[in-house]
Structure 1
Amino acid sequence: MVGNADKEKLVRLANLLQLDRFASIGDRKQLGAVDAGKPFDVMQKAGVETAIMSTNLRARERALRDAQYAAQGGHIDKALRHLGPHVVASGNAAAVDAAAAWLSLSPAEREVTAIYASGRNLRGQVNEAVQTGLKANGELGPGSMRLNVLSRVNLTREEMRYARSYAAGMVLEVDRRQRAQGLQKGRYEVITTDPSRERVTLQNGKGKRIEFRPGQMRPQGEQDSLRVFELRPLEIHDGDRIRWTATDQKRGLLNADQARIVAVDGKSVTVKTSLGVEHQLGLKDPMLERLDLAYALNAHMAQGLTSDRGIAVMDSRERNLANQQTFLVTITRLRDGLTLFVDNADRLEAAVERNPGMKRSALETVDLLRHAAATGQAKGRTPDPSQAPAREPPELDRSITKPFEIGI
């Protein structure tokens, strides 16, 4: 999930430290970086020495392991066939049915069963459904509070340079002063957008309006100090499971870490972290804007995690999310079993089969265009037999790159 900018920083640090070896470990078939580039994939295509680790040590149940192997090979039909009756077609009720399946488990089973959703919308639906069920069954306490929380909008540097990426009601956070834009450090609300003029009208906490010109941001650098959020309502109750969406280092409240709501009253919210430490958050505590329900996780959050059993939700109508990368991450998080809820199994299979989910890098785009130009230029030209094809430099000659095996 590392983009070009972060990868370049890692390589530069390795060179400054004069390291003898730099190893990158990952899976280019899984979800890549939100930001620009896919260096992990590009460096392999360029011929870097590569060791393939293909033994599945995670899955312990035979059918699940076979499904994961099939998904790794891009055989979506075989993967769904191996899952068999554990693929449940629920139409428009997939999120609710997945929540009901998790709620029907015993408390002990719930602790070892994760819920994975392909994207943010489905995750929100599952979280709301689980909370509704727990509340109706009396498993959540009487204390409750309505919050307005900040939900991060994942934009690349380039996307942030266009007015169409912003919408009225969004929140722009500025970590460092932007002299050229007239922006001080702080929070701004998006009032209006004008894509035709590439202008965004912002309003600060004092009511002052500022004309923001995103196109004047440099392609590199500003994204680290500018972040875009959506403001959405969220109700929390005593006993709710939450996750942090930002970090407060001093109190040990870490981004993506989970916590439990201990008590909610009219003046504060008491939470217990994953380490068992309790904190009391006042009504104006900034971390009350930086949380979300954590009954379900989406695929980007789940990559790298493992659980014994899982319930997953995917929807064939989510065009950008119904792809092979999301499918692979979703079904390979489990050890002992998976139940997959979908709107329509056949449609999901077709959608995932035709969408690998792999974005094209700038290098690949240039190569594609160069090849197209060369093909056009060569049309009608008589070949010259004296011009032998030039041999690539040794470091780019894939034929001399020898695979090597590793083991325990």
Structure 2
Amino acid sequence: MTVRPAGLAGGGNAAAYYAADNYYTGEQEGPSAWGGEGAAELGLAGHVDGDTFNAVLDGRLPGGVVIAAGGDGTRNPGFDLTFNAPKSVSLVALIGGDARVVAAHARAVSATMEWAEARFGQARSGKAGETLQSARMVYALFQHDLSRKLDPHLHTHTVVVNAALRADGSWVALNNRPLWKQSALIGAAYHAELRSELGKLGYQTEINGKHGQFDILGIPRDVIEAFSVRREEILRKAAELGLTSPHAMEQIATRSREAKQAGDAQAARALWAQKAVVHGPAIRGVTQAAYDMVRPRSVLDAVRDWGAALVERVTRGFGPTPEPLLRGLDDVRRGGDLASTYAVTAGVRHLGERTASFEHRDVLAASLSMAEKGATVRGIEVRIDALRQAGVLIAGPRGGLHADRLTTRDILATEKAILAAVRAGVGTAASPMAAGMADAALTHVAEARGVTLADEQRQAGLAMLSGTDRIQLVQGDAGSGKSFLFETVGRAGAEGGVGLLVLVPQNKLMEEMAGRGLEMRSLASVLQAHGRSDGRARASETLSTLMAGKIVVLEEASMVSSRQLAGLIDVVRVGEAAKLVLVGDVRQIASPAAGRPFALLQEASMPTVRLAENRRQQNDTLREAASLAREGRISDTVALLGERVCESADPAAAAVAQYLGLPPGERDRTALLTSGHVLREAVLGAVRDGLIAEGLLGPDVVTLRVWDNLNLTREELRQPRHWAEGMRLDIYRHQAGLAPGTYTVGATEWATGIVRLDRDGHTRYFDPRSLHHAGQGAALAVPGEIEVREGDRLIFTGEDKTRGMTNGTAVTLDRLEGGMLHLSGRDRDYVIAPDDPMRERLGHGAVLNMHRAQGITVDRAITVMDSHDRLLNSQSLYYVLQTRAREDMSLHTDDRVALVAAIESHHGDVPHALDLAPELSPSGGERFDPATGELAPAGIVVESADSRDTRLLDAMSAALQAIGKDEVIVAPVMPVPEPVAVARGEPIGPSRKELEIEMSRDFDMDM
């Protein structure tokens, strides 16, 4: 974490620490300065002296102002927000001797803190402090250059004083929560500022991590490692403990700190001089190259080269066609503005692929993480505001629940299209079977199976077989018997000559429902084969054969994104299916991509049949716990489960101990489930170690090279920085000049962003930015290794349809023989030769994370959750975890109280785009105001109350055509301006000459 918040021990202790002798100048007192508008009001400026610093931390401000202590007589003096320069920056500054870089770091910190004060400086007011208002802050900056292991480490301690000046002139305690909570965003802003400053000094940089973290190019990795003793110490300790999470690393760093000793600075310089004998030339070479870039005689050439490179990189990054996010680009005349425009365009595209709406700070963070040098947080905010004013980004209603959220017009159009298609299809379809025939067939199938259909099951079956809604919704709560319903409906439909095609979003579900006699496909394979990149379907004889006249059922519809569902609706239409049935549970895990259309349709009161009875869980306690979890009553659920919820310092180890303590027969009936990937790896390693010790896994080991998908968004995939030599590129459909197939990634040229791709002995050079930003069907994977032994439970992570191998299919490694892997599955065996491509498409299957486990049923479950996994600990994930087991389950965690609090505060339901734009919903009531970029009361109903007389084909065609357009006007009452027209072949943005002139004015050599 490059900006780290930490509490202070107290006034006196804090002053002693920050005045310590450990500054890069070697002076007795290091560089320091007061900052903040509040400090200016108090007359605090320049160097920070110890006495004044102590007094301010104790709440005694200049002019006799005193900040009262808390009710218990104590007071919080403030906190330390530390800005850490990247290691490469520290090396060029402190080993390369470039004092300009030290000054650049100081300017970046100051600029970031000024922005943070304006954005997050707050104080409370009112009788109970319930009202927040902006306030001016007081902080002290202390610049250091040593780590605790004497490594060169340029960083600034920003001690934020617990004092704030409100608009009414009163001094009160600071509300530090926003600053603390947004430390990652503040760090991203600092990185952008520092990159911009370094660019002016001639340094080339490249983002290499989250939150805009970057390094200066040209410094070898071994040089960085030689001056990173402290980091290596933390990594070694983590490896000893088997820990990998960022939280664990942070805890190790905090708990293993040693006190800084007097005389450290002199000892450090002696140590640096020794290392510089070997590593100094490489660092000084980078420093000299930077100086050469900005020598007075070559300033114009440097500006020209930098400006040309920026225009080239950024305009290619925008993509091959204009779109609303590029509105006003012709007016951009400064390099920094162009970089900020690109940053926001990339950030919004990235967010829009993952979520239907996002907060303003999410756009800031995403934009900063993708920024070219020259972009700054203030420039990015200006661009966001411009897009709001133009109506390209839509904000929630002023003063409403979603006032700080944003969405885009194309996301709005997609949700509108889905609603229009479902609404237009109500009561318009011909019944696949007559109601009486369907009822008789359901009864006959049930009797033949020796069961009696419950009323809700019969009603759902009749709706599917004889209902007249062309798109039918079935809300099936967890454990309500959806798979049984599909099988029953499938057999009943067959009696009447109606076929059933079941589509699933996860291949694991295909294995779960295998043996039920159902025709099944993965949703991805259908969309890939029959959909286009613009969301429209391709008519073909193959599609007609697959769907014509059939009832198409989408299982686990809650896991499907808006874009996927919109595409499927068109595929079903073109394929001339009898109807589409969406079956899912709105309370379970949603799609990792943007949108929750299944929930949106139910919230819009689309006709829905519900299956509510829990038929899975055979234990009364588990049934009641599932019901409580569904209602979001997590505390009551955990209390009811009692001793089934186990708390320990190492929940992964405790879960494994419980599993290994079971008899072999019980193990086969018990699933190990975790909330996420990190816990899964910990549990998997420990359980395999236990099985090896017991002799249940064979002694011989085979190491397999496997591939881990990076799961990048399309915009991330288009950024060359995510590509590295040795990766694998999978192309599933023709795009950007690439044919479908697998490519090996070679070297990447940072200056041009060009990547070398190798396939079947042929080499080609490829620019990732040539991938269309709205396309799909491409993925990057990184190589890894797994060890396997006889007895290991594995899964296929890829597919070979010719041999019946599908992604997610579970197999057991029965025998290793001459390099051959002999695997057994549920209904067939497989032999994998040493040169078989599927050898690289295997993974361990003994432990599942909850996203893969959704939809499965097991007899017993041992589950693990970590209270620190705040992004994973949602109510929807917990509900899935709680409802997998028929007979019994247990939950292991590190902190029961903290886990419950985390889950209860995380509903996991991102607002729909239409939640921000009620004027597009059936109720109407608000309109877009282009003057403010927000929504305001309109008193106009946009749609008629009844649109059932609209033909489904017309409604779907028009709606889906709108989705495919770059510019969409989704309602007559929205006066949205036209996009900026950019003719093909014309440069986007300013001319290079204009850019050179403007940039030369702002170019700061700081010699």
Is the structural similarity TM-score above 0.5? Answer: yes
Provide structure 2 residue ranges, at least 5 long, that are not aligned to the other structure. Answer: 1-558, 949-1007
| Mapped partners of 1:291, 1:102: distance in 2 | 24
- Any idea what SS the aligned residue of 1:31 has? coil
Displacement of 1:289 in angstroms is 0.9
Question: Corresponding residue for 1:78?
Answer: 636
1:49 to 607, 631, 634: 607
| Contact persistence 2:875–2:908 (CA under 8 A) | yes
Q: Name the CA shift for 1:121/1:209 in 2 (closer, same or farther; >3 Å).
A: farther
Identity rate of aligned residues, in percent? Answer: 31
Q: 2:880 aligned with 1:323, yes or no?
A: no
CA–CA distance in 1 between the matches of 2:577 and 2:804?
A: 33
Of 671, 676, 680, which residue of structure 2 is paired with 1:119? 676
Matched, 1:234 2:786: yes
Question: 1:280 is matched by which residue type in structure 2?
Answer: V
Q: TM-score, normalised by structure 1?
A: 0.82
Counting only pairs closer than 5 Å after superposition, residues 390-405 of structure 1 correspond to structure 2 as 390=941, 393-395=944-946
Letter of the structure 2 residue corresponding to residue 32 of structure 1: A
Alpha-carbon separation, structure 2, partners of 1:378 and 1:253: 51
Once the two structures are superposed, the pairs formed by residues 2-401 of structure 1 within 5 Å of their partners are 2-16=560-574, 21-91=579-649, 93-163=650-720, 170-180=727-737, 185-189=741-745, 199=753, 201-204=755-758, 210-214=765-769, 216-221=770-775, 223-224=776-777, 226-275=778-827, 277-366=828-917, 390=941, 393-395=944-946
CA distance in 2, matches of 1:367, 1:159: 31
Look up the equivalent residue of 1:257 and give its one-letter code: T
Partner Cα separation in structure 2 for residue 55 and residue 12 of structure 1: 33
- The answer as to whether partners of 2:919 and 2:942 remain within 8 angstroms in 1 is no
What secondary structure sits across from 1:316 in the alignment? coil
* Contact 2:811/2:826 (<8 A) preserved: yes
Does structure 2 conserve the Cα–Cα contact (< 8 Å) formed by 1:166 and 1:190? no
Q: Secondary structure at the match of 2:580?
A: coil
**Cα 1:351/1:294, change in 2 over 3 Å:** same
Query: Once the 2 structures are TM-superposed, how far is the Cα of residue 15 of structure 1 from its aligned partner?
Result: 3.0
Deviation at 1:152, TM superposition (A): 2.4
RMSD between superposed Cα atoms in Å: 3.4
State which drifts further: 126-135 or 1-10: 1-10
Task: For residue 583 of structure 2, give the secondary structure of its aligned residue in structure 1.
Answer: coil
Flag the 1:337–1:376 CA change in 2: closer, same or farther, 3 A.
Answer: farther
Partner Cα separation in structure 2 for residue 280 and residue 273 of structure 1: 11
How far residue 46 of structure 1 moved from its aligned partner, in angstroms, is 2.5
Amino acid at match of 1:105: L
State how many pairs are aligned. Answer: 384
Amino acid at match of 1:29: R
* Inter-partner Cα distance in structure 1 for 2:841 and 2:578: 41
Give the structure 1 partner of residue 556 of structure 2. Answer: none
* Contact persistence 1:30–1:328 (CA under 8 A): yes
How far residue 97 of structure 1 moved from its aligned partner, in angstroms, is 1.8
SS, match of residue 317 in structure 1:
coil
Three-state SS of the structure 2 residue aligned to 1:292 is strand
More helix by share: 2
Q: Select the structure of larger CA radius of gyration.
A: 2
Distance 2:621 2:686 in 1: 29
**1:50, 1:134 → 2: CA distance?**
48
The equivalent residue for 1:401 is none
Q: Say if 1:144 and 1:78 are closer, same or farther in 2 by CA, change over 3 A.
A: same
Aligned to 1:406: none
For 1:193 and 1:35, locate their aligned partners in 2 and report how far apart those are by CA, in whole Å: 31
1:254 and 1:263 map into 2 onto residues whose CA distance is 21
Q: What amino acid does structure 1 have at the position aligned with 2:774?
A: Q
Q: Is the 8 A contact 1:143 1:265 kept in 2?
A: no
Shift in Å, 1:251: 2.0
Contact between 2:867 and 2:894, CA under 8 Å: does it hold in 1? yes
Q: In structure 1, what is the Cα distance between the partners aligned to 2:752 and 2:895?
A: 41
Distance in 2 (alpha carbons) for counterparts of 1:233 and 1:279:
21
Unpaired stretches in structure 1, ≥5 consecutive residues: 398-408
Q: Is contact 1:143-1:263 (8 Å) kept?
A: no
Instruction: Name the structure, 1 or 2, with higher relative contact order (CA <8 Å, separation 6+).
Output: 1
1:210 is displaced (CA, Å) by 3.5
Q: Compute the displacement of 1:143 (Å).
A: 2.1
Contact persistence 2:919–2:941 (CA under 8 A): no
Query: Aligned-pair distance for 1:295?
Result: 1.0
Q: Is the 8 A contact 1:171 1:190 kept in 2?
A: no
Q: Deviations over 1:322-351 (max 9, x none)?
A: 111211111111111111011211111121
Q: CA deviation at 1:391?
A: 8.3
Which whole-Å CA distance do the structure 2 matches of 1:245 and 1:111 have between them? 22
Displacement of 1:269 in angstroms is 1.5
Instruction: Supply the distance in 2 between the matched residues of 1:359 and 1:365 (Cα, whole angstroms).
Output: 11
Q: 1:207 to 1:80 in 2, by over 3 A?
A: farther
Query: 2:321 maps to what in 1?
Result: none
Cα deviations across residues 380-406 of structure 1 (Å, max 9, x unaligned)?
x9x9xxx96648632489xxxxxxxxx
Cα deviation, residue 51, structure 1? 2.7
CA distance in 2 between partners of 1:84 and 1:390 (Å) = 52
Partner SS state of residue 611, structure 2: coil
Q: Which deviates the most, 141-150 or 354-363?
A: 354-363
Contact persistence 1:166–1:193 (CA under 8 A): no
Partner Cα distance (1:47, 1:227) in 2: 37
2:824 aligned partner, one-letter code: K
Give per-residue Cα distances to partners, 1:90-114, cap 9 Å, x unaligned.
23x2222212211211111111111
Separation in structure 1 between the aligned mates of residue 894 and residue 844 of structure 2, nearest angstrom? 23
CA–CA distance in 2 between the matches of 1:209 and 1:253? 31
- Aligned counterparts of 2:623 and 2:786: Cα–Cα separation in 1: 38
Instruction: Find the residue that maps to 1:52 and give its secondary structure.
Output: strand
Where does structure 1 differ by over 6 angstroms across 4 or more consecutive aligned residues?
368-373, 375-379
Code of the aligned partner of 1:357? G
Contact 1:258 1:294 in 2 (8 A): yes
Instruction: Output the TM-score relative to the length of structure 2.
Output: 0.35
The CA deviation string for residues 128-163 of structure 1, in whole angstroms up to 9 with x for no partner, is 211111111111112210112112233344543445
Opposite residue 813 of structure 2, the aligned amino acid is I
